[in-house]
Structure 1
Amino acid sequence: MDCDRSFRIDAQQLQRRFRSLQRAVHPDRFGQRPPLELSGVEPAQETDCDADSAFLMEIMEINEKLAEPKNEDILAEIETLIKVKQEELTREVTAAFERDDLQGAKKLLAKMKYFANLEDKLKAKKIPS
């Protein structure tokens, strides 16, 4: 934030710097621009995962289970599976970033989006109707 490292900081200076940075990076300034890149790598999209057929089959199977009539045992099983997969992918993404493998991280993040979508569907299914 471009302030002195101290417990006692100038709150007005900090607020001015914060607002200046907020204006500089506000989403409205980037609405018509192409996606931002990190070291030449565009943000991950679901279609970028170059997913192998086994991964896609796993996603399809979970989607099929979620489409079945509500069954608390199956929903609990899916919830556990999603949590385990998200934790696993988070570890893999962390490792990819640490070894500066941005393409690998991008593919893993795309896979994580699939599981985030499944989690949203699961939450919607658990809401009483």
Structure 2
Amino acid sequence: MNPRAPGKDTVLIYYTNQVKSLVCYSTSQVKLNCWNCKQPLLDKPPFFCMSCKVVQPPEEGTCYFKIMDCDYTFTLDTHKLQQRYLQLQRSLHPDNFSQKSVKEQEYSESQSALVNKAYNTLLKPLSRGLYMLRLEGMHIEEGTESGADSEFLFELLAINEALDEAWTPEEANKIGRDTKEKLAELTKHIDAALCKGELQAAKALLVQMKYYANIEEKVKEKLSRFM
């Protein structure tokens, strides 16, 4: 439970098997109307008007988890995410609106681009975790070593040196397997930290994940050279 004492406008947050975000679970009662027929928009977020079937403009600041209809959790169902992505793009793709008004074409392009961004952000654990921290008001600056101690950085240096000196695909694959195991371990720890609301711990673990994800990409590049 959120340790802050509840006040009149405070929402209690209970951590069970998934994180709760006030950003993604807004209790706002603001009602939107269709730009075309002025009828109320009932879906959240609204992609189309249920009355006149016209595409709607993106709702500014909508949480990616809401857009993709996913539980707000670090270990989300990526299969469900992919299905939702395909479903939305089939209906929102700009090609479907080539004969529509200029405004509808613009809105379909904006919605389609937003869906792409939401999907790509939530698909991979690292970008998903960083996004979840941003929703909670935390940000990891690119290129910083915040949260990475000297022992950890020395370990990474040794891994990178071993990768540089790998002369066979077998050697590179061994480093790749070890890195995947480390990323899987970090995923479990990050999920546990976010579920408990331990954001600083999650941030430190995500910094480590950034480094290991970088090594994973280097392994792929190294293997491509052997082909």
So what's the TM-score if we normalise by structure 2?
0.42
- 1:34-49 maps to which residues of 2 (within 5 A)? 37-43=134-140, 45=142, 46-49=144-147
Structure 1 gap segments, 5+ residues each: 27-35
Higher relative contact order (CA 8 A, sep 6+): 1
Q: In structure 1, what is the equivalent of residue 58 of structure 2?
A: 20
CA distance in 2, matches of 1:128, 1:42: 35
Matching of residue 80 in structure 1 with residue 177 in structure 2: yes
Q: Residues 59-108 of structure 1, C-alpha deviation per residue, up to 9 Å, x if partnerless?
A: 11110011115322211210111000000000000000011011110110
Which amino acid is 2:154 matched to? M
Change (3 A) 1:75 1:69: closer
Q: In structure 2, what is the equivalent of residue 121 of structure 1?
A: 218
Matching of residue 3 in structure 1 with residue 101 in structure 2: no
- 1:88-103 maps to which residues of 2 (within 5 A)? 88-103=185-200
Which amino acid is 2:162 matched to? K
Aligned identity (percent) is 34
Larger helix share, 1 or 2: 1
Tell me, yes or no, if the aligned pair for 2:189 and 2:205 is still in contact at 8 Å.
Answer: yes
Tell me, yes or no, if the aligned pair for 1:44 and 1:107 is still in contact at 8 Å.
Answer: no
CA distance in 1, matches of 2:169, 2:42: 52
CA distance in 1, matches of 2:190, 2:141: 12
Change (3 A) 1:2 1:41: farther
Change (3 A) 1:100 1:60: same
Q: In structure 1, what is the equivalent of residue 85 of structure 2?
A: none
Q: Rg larger in 1 or in 2?
A: 2
Structure 2 gap segments, 5+ residues each: 1-40, 62-109, 111-132
Q: In structure 1, what is the equivalent of residue 21 of structure 2?
A: none
Which amino acid is 2:183 matched to? Q
Q: In structure 2, what is the equivalent of residue 67 of structure 1?
A: 164
Aligned partner of residue 145 in structure 2, secondary structure = helix
CA distance in 2, matches of 1:2, 1:105: 35
TM-fit CA distance, 1:3? 1.0
Q: Aligned-pair RMSD on alpha carbons?
A: 2.9
TM-fit CA distance, 1:37? 4.0
Aligned residue-pair number: 111
